[in-house]
């Protein structure tokens, strides 16, 4: 007789054994126990942030067979697949949209497994458990963001509503060098990017790649200054605390790549990337000096250089940015799942999302026509 499945919630990832949690993942740095713990211990999430940890585990026979990063949210900030308009409509109709449940990695618009399990049956059980938890807690609904296409399919089968948005990713088609990649582009675009990189690299300093033990406290101090400036301009205030970067240094410095621009020995700009088994994820950028094209160089071109040199399949450079198209980044679909307890609102959302999916498919197809690749190239 098969042992029954037991669903549990945890107010801190620290309550879950790191080996048990990580054994269910796919190596993605953002769903690792150490990354999620760094968010909590640095107080980037938790009391006062609107992201209250409520992580799920699924047990069978005393063994964890499924898990999911889960938060009770009191707002819709830091999600990157936004539902602000839904919240306003829900509240205009007299409902309470917050709190809601968010199965996600806070402040991280990078796709990957959200339902950590070894098979689809356990993933389906996590989805069913998430619905049941929503009912038990009497919150408005549950959302699974930046999930995989497989998880999206399973969610749709379980009654969640699938949503498709889009990002720009660079795809490595076996390029031997950056010049090899440029060879896949049209002649004019090839010349444009060579000129752009030359201008950026002529900013009057040097560009360094720092990983592991090459990273020192003063590098993080410099990057914190960059991050604060960017965060203040984009979000009003930075999401992450200074302590988060210290914990990342302690536990994940071999999984990060800091691309640093220095002039006269002083850091003037930087881009922070996380490294996965098959991808490099661009996360944060900032500067204290403005130089032509330096942002594109540090965030996009240097990431491509690293991906080619290390045989990584793709570069995910974060949310938004049509300017990525001209630099060889291609439009790709991004998946999420949504469910609300109110049947009438769920029906209205289903109608809206069906239309949005059709429009998004058309938009992605149209955007492919603006990539810089030669039309005979697979990327074109």
Nearest residue to 285 via CA among 277, 295, 276, 293: 295
- Per residue in 242-287, pLDDT (tens digit) is 999 999 999 999 999 999 999 999 999 999 999 999 999 999 999 9
- Per residue in 173-194, pLDDT (tens digit) is 999 999 999 999 999 999 999 9
Look at residue 378 in the predicted model and tell me its pLDDT. 55
With cut-offs at 50, 70 and 90, classify the pLDDT of residue 31. very high
Could you write out the DSSP letters of every residue in 336-366?
Answer: EEEEES-HHHHHHHHHHHHHHHHHHHHHHHH
- Per residue in 309-368, pLDDT (tens digit) is 999 999 999 887 899 999 999 999 999 999 999 999 999 999 999 999 999 999 999 999
Look at residue 375 in the predicted model and tell me its pLDDT. 79
**Residue given tokens 């950590």 in the structure block:** 116
Tokens of 188: 């004019």
Q: Does residue 216 carry a pLDDT above 80?
A: yes
Residues 27 and 184: their CA atoms lie apart, in Å, by 31
* Phi–psi pair at 70, nearest 5 degrees: -135, 145
- Burial class for 144, CB neighbours closer than 10 Å (0-12, 13-18, 19+): buried
33 C-beta neighbours (distance < 10 Å), count:
22
More confident residue, 374 or 230: 374
With cut-offs at 50, 70 and 90, classify the pLDDT of residue 238. confident
Percentage of the chain beyond pLDDT 90 is 93
Nearest residue to 182 via CA among 293, 305, 81, 318: 305
- Decide the pairing of beta strands 256-263 and 266-275: antiparallel
Q: Where are the alpha helices (DSSP H) in the chain?
A: 18-22, 33-41, 84-92, 120-137, 149-158, 178-182, 187-201, 217-235, 242-252, 294-296, 302-310, 343-368
246 C-beta neighbours (distance < 10 Å), count:
16
Cα angle value 83/85/91 (rounded, 5°)? 105
Could you write out the DSSP letters of every residue in 124-146?
Answer: HHHHHHHHHHHHHHT-SEEEEEE
More confident residue, 235 or 327: 327
Percentage of the chain beyond pLDDT 70 is 97
- Decide the pairing of beta strands 314-316 and 161-171: antiparallel
Give just the sign of the alpha carbon dihedral 113, 117, 118, 119: negative
Nearest residue to 255 via CA among 38, 26, 68, 28: 28
Residues 6 or more apart whose Cβ sits within 8 Å of residue 364: 166, 331, 332, 333
- Per residue in 76-108, pLDDT (tens digit) is 999 999 999 999 999 999 999 999 999 999 999
With cut-offs at 50, 70 and 90, classify the pLDDT of residue 3. confident
99: cis peptide before it, omega within 30°? yes
Look at residue 1 in the predicted model and tell me its pLDDT. 43
- Per residue in 43-55, pLDDT (tens digit) is 999 999 999 999 9
Residues 261 and 93: their CA atoms lie apart, in Å, by 51
Average pLDDT over residues 294-306: 98
More confident residue, 128 or 233: 128
Q: Under a CB-based contact definition with an 8 Å cutoff, are residues 31 and 25 in contact?
A: yes
| Secondary structure of 6-60 as H, E, C letters | EEEEECCHHHCCHHHHHCCCCCCHHHCHHHHHHHHHCCCCECCCCEEECEEEEEE
84 C-beta neighbours (distance < 10 Å), count:
12
Three-state SS at 262: strand
* This prediction's pTM: 0.95
Q: Does residue 154 carry a pLDDT above 70?
A: yes
Domains of the chain: 5-167+332-368 (3.40.630.30), 173-312 (3.40.630.30)
């Amino acid at each position: 007789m098969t042992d029954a499945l037991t669903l549990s919630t945890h107010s801190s990832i620290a309550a879950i054994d790191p080996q048990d949690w990580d054994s269910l993942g796919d190596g993605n740095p953002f769903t690792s126990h150490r990354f999620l713990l760094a968010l909590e211990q640095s107080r980037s999430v938790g009391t006062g942030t609107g992201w209250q940890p409520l992580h799920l585990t699924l047990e069978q026979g005393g063994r964890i067979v499924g898990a999911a990063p889960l938060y009770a949210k009191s707002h819709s900030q830091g999600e990157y697949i936004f539902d602000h308009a839904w919240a306003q409509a829900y509240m205009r109709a007299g409902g309470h949209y917050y709190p809601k449940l968010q199965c996600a990695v806070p402040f991280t618009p990078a796709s990957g497994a959200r339902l950590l399990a070894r098979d689809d049956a356990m993933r389906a059980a996590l989805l069913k458990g998430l619905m049941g938890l929503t009912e038990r807690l009497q919150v408005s609904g549950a959302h699974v963001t930046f999930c995989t296409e497989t998880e999206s399919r399973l969610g749709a089968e379980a009654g969640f509503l699938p949503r498709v948005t889009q990002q720009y990713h660079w795809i490595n088609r076996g390029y031997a060098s950056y010049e090899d990649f440029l060879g896949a582009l049209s002649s004019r675009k090839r010349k444009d990017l060579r000129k752009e990189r030359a201008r950026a690299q002529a900013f009057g300093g040097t560009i360094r790649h720092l990983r592991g033990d090459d990273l020192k406290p003063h590098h993080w101090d410099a990057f914190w200054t960059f991050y604060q400036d960017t965060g203040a301009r984009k979000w009003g205030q930075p999401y992450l605390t200074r302590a988060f970067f210290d914990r990342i240094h302690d536990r994940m410095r071999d999984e990060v790549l800091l691309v640093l621009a220095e002039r006269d020995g002083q850091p003037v700009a930087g881009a922070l990337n996380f490294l996965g088994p098959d991808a490099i994820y661009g996360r944060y950028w900032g500067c204290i000096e403005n130089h032509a094209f330096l942002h594109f160089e540090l965030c996009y071109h240097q990431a491509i250089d690293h991906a080619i040199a290390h045989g990584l399949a793709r570069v995910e450079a974060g949310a938004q940015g049509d300017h990525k198209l001209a630099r060889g980044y291609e439009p790709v679909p991004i998946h999420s799942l949504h469910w609300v307890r109110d049947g009438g609102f769920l029906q209205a959302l289903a109608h809206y999302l069906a239309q949005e999916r059709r429009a998004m498919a058309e938009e992605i197809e149209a955007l492919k026509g603006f990539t810089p690749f030669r039309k005979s190239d697979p990327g074109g």
